[in-house]
Chain A
């Protein structure tokens, strides 16, 4: 997406739908702060024009953390310039976008290691220790 940053936003092509999304993110952030429970905005089904999407990205900005997940294709999990707001993009093996979310959370669930996978990992390392 980095290549798109330089593209100017055409104000005639904005739908005005970015503001409600930002309001929702702000409400989720407030909720995260007070109750510890955030939430997810599914970008895939929102009526955003390409310029809207650029504007939304620009408004949220870039944060300090960026993680990549390699399973069933690449996934990008980046914290935005608004701490606690994460931009999550899931791609398939062909690099096509499968799903895109804005997650409001301290740490996206998918980054945490899963107990079942840890269990499997334990078996693997025990196997390696036998040599």
Chain B
């Protein structure tokens, strides 16, 4: 067949997508069962405060923790926010992505004009590069980093980069680049549950648990 690129695109849009979603759902459910199945020992002590909802409050409060004025951590926080928010905007506010979600889940929401998302993508890509350089050059971060961290970075970076290249018709013809973009996103989906990217789910449990436990433990001040 003369259209290798077309076949690639069709595989990515059809069987590839089904496979990626299947692995993703399987993996996420497996990991959630595994993690939640571990349970926690019942805390028999009396709670410090009778206040409820402390866990939920912590989920929120830790999402808006601005330590930007501390020069040692400013970079981490600012670039971290820029990258995460940019990533959300690129994934959830680009109209073709919303149409994909509408196609799968049956509902959608308004998107942003494409050039705006394009600008956000550039900023996000730069933020990710800053993060990588920081990870490699900072001795402490380098020591703490495992190959899993670099894998997670790469899995996130590739869909962004390929999406940007596809939109601007760079490197390869658009259908080829679009196929690679979809495939890279499918790779991200399939590997998400088995890498550090699982934090997209677990961070909420962790924050909720920390909030709950801290409201019970310790001495009231």
Complex: A in contact with B (CB within 8 Å): no
Please give the residue numbers on chain B whose beta carbons come within 8 Å of chain A beta carbons, in ascending order. Answer: none
Residues in chain A within 8 A of chain B (CB atoms): none
